[in-house]
A and B are shown apart, each in its own frame.
Chain A
Amino acid sequence: AQKITQTQPGMFVQEKEAVTLDCTYDTSDPSYGLFWYKQPSSGEMIFLIYQGSYDQQNATEGRYSLNFQKARKSANLVISASQLGDSAMYFCAMREGDFQKLVFGTGTRLLVSP
């Protein structure tokens, strides 16, 4: 079974609008972490945001926020006020426990139009 599922292969949004990228996960480990990364065409993986399973509040980093719904096992990324530079692939990932590997979803390609 897939541990991380991203159901949106591609998303379109207009500049200055908000967009939500979906991510659901599957784990029986009570301690886990959820990550979002941005991958531009250059190939580097840019860390955006992290949510721990025991964190009480949803994580936020500037224009990025993570809508963490533990009961639903979802960890959607919300990008507010989209910019043209946000056009990239976005990957959701999960780590079970500490110092363990990341398991990645298949990614969502976001295109921001003027």
Chain B
Amino acid sequence: SAVISQKPSRDICQRGTSLTIQCQVDSQVTMMFWYRQQPGQSLTLIATANQGSEATYESGFVIDKFPISRPNLTFSTLTVSNMSPEDSSIYLCSVELWREAFFGQGTRLTVV
């Protein structure tokens, strides 16, 4: 399995500020995925991040709000910009290895 380190594990942020979430994988992977889980809901894909190219965003998510970096094959960041209380969610990164998909520990974000 893959070991995925995601930081921070949780944060409480003021509205209007931004938070950057980091995801480090112990293996080189082509694609990394960022998901959001709103309270009491299932997971929804925000974007797919390939190394060396711009991230591909799902409908309803835009780069200005959720900029993503993918500087190498083991690391990615997701920024939640200009936060509002509606951004309070768990954010998770995920990678696929040997057909199986693994997740980081998640970042529990509360916006006040």
| Measured CA separation A62–B58 after assembly (Å) | 35
Q: Which of A88-114 contact B (CB under 8 A)?
A: 91, 93, 95, 98-99, 101-102, 104-107
Query: Residues of A contacting B41 with CB < 8 Å?
Result: 106
Known contacts A104-B42, A104-B43, A98 near B106 by CB under 8 Å: no
A101 contacts B33, C-beta separation under 8 Å: yes
**Which stretch, B19-27, B78-86, B94-102, touches the partner chain A?**
B94-102
Bound: A46/B92 CA distance, A: 12
Size range of the chain B interface in the assembly: 20 to 34
B75 on the A face (CB < 8 A): no
Number of A-B residue pairs, CB cutoff 8 Å, is: 58
**A residues with CB within 8 A of B:** 33, 35, 37, 42-47, 50, 52, 91, 93, 95, 98-99, 101-102, 104-107
Query: Taking beta carbons and an 8 Å cutoff, which residues of B are in contact with A?
Result: 1, 30-31, 33, 35, 37, 41-45, 48, 58, 90, 92, 94, 96, 99-106, 108
* Smallest CB-CB A-B distances: 4 pairs: A45-B103, A43-B106, A104-B42, A101-B45
Q: List 27 A-B contacts (CB under 8 A).
A: A35-B100, A37-B103, A42-B105, A43-B106, A43-B108, A44-B103, A44-B105, A44-B106, A45-B92, A45-B94, A45-B106, A47-B1, A47-B100, A47-B101, A47-B102, A50-B99, A91-B43, A93-B43, A95-B101, A98-B96, A99-B96, A101-B45, A102-B45, A102-B94, A102-B101, A104-B43, A104-B44
